[in-house]
Amino acid sequence: MPIAMYPGSFDPVTRGHLDIIRRSARMFDKLIVAVLNNSAKTPLFTVEERVEMLTECCKDLPNVEVRSFNGLTVNFARQTHATVMVRGLRAVTDFENEIQLAHTNHALMPGIETVFLATSIKWSYLSSTIVREAAHYNHDVSKFVTPNVEAALKRKIEEGKA
């Protein structure tokens, strides 16, 4: 079976992300959750914190490995021998950007294939941005994130970083 990679910023990881991770883990022998360290953005959580949160969330999935990377996703795919890129689609509006990325990735690395998974309807509205915003205004985000992520969000708010 091919090695699959699910790249993203995961700032923070949501239950929607975890739904895609769990479903992908059933489809592939190995799934690498690739946490992007994007120097052009200022994330709420450091890449190390995001890797730690994801590792905790995925600890019951033996075929899932969480790693961080810099640079182009296809370069990391090549480095890890991943031949499948997993992408979640929440709505039709996601498709236009995602199909451009898939075509670009394939042009840069002809052996890479993209698999699109429709997000479960339960999480189709959810994004990391929404979670950060709700947490910033002290709303209960426990239905959107796991307890470890909720605790990390609360720490960031207390530190005045969210």
Query: Strand runs (DSSP E) across the chain, as ranges?
Result: 3-8, 30-36, 64-69, 82-89, 113-118
Confidence label for 55 from pLDDT (cuts 50, 70 and 90): very high
* Average pLDDT for 113-136: 94
In this predicted structure, what is the pLDDT of residue 1?
76
- How far apart CA 65 and CA 135 sit, in angstroms, is 28
pLDDT above 90 for 41: no
Mean of the per-residue pLDDT values of the chain? 94
Reduce the DSSP state of residue 134 to 3 states and report it: helix
Structure confidence at residue 53 as a pLDDT band (50, 70, 90): very high
Residue 154: band (very low, low, confident or very high) from pLDDT cuts 50, 70, 90: very high
Query: What domains, with CATH codes, occur in the chain?
Result: 3-158 (3.40.50.620)
Where in the sequence numbering do the catalytic residues fall?
17, 41, 90, 128
CA-to-CA distance for 17 and 39, rounded, in angstroms?
Answer: 22
Distance separating alpha carbons of residues 159 and 162, to the nearest angstrom: 8
Q: What is the pTM of this model?
A: 0.94
Please give the structure tokens belonging to residue 30: 């190995």
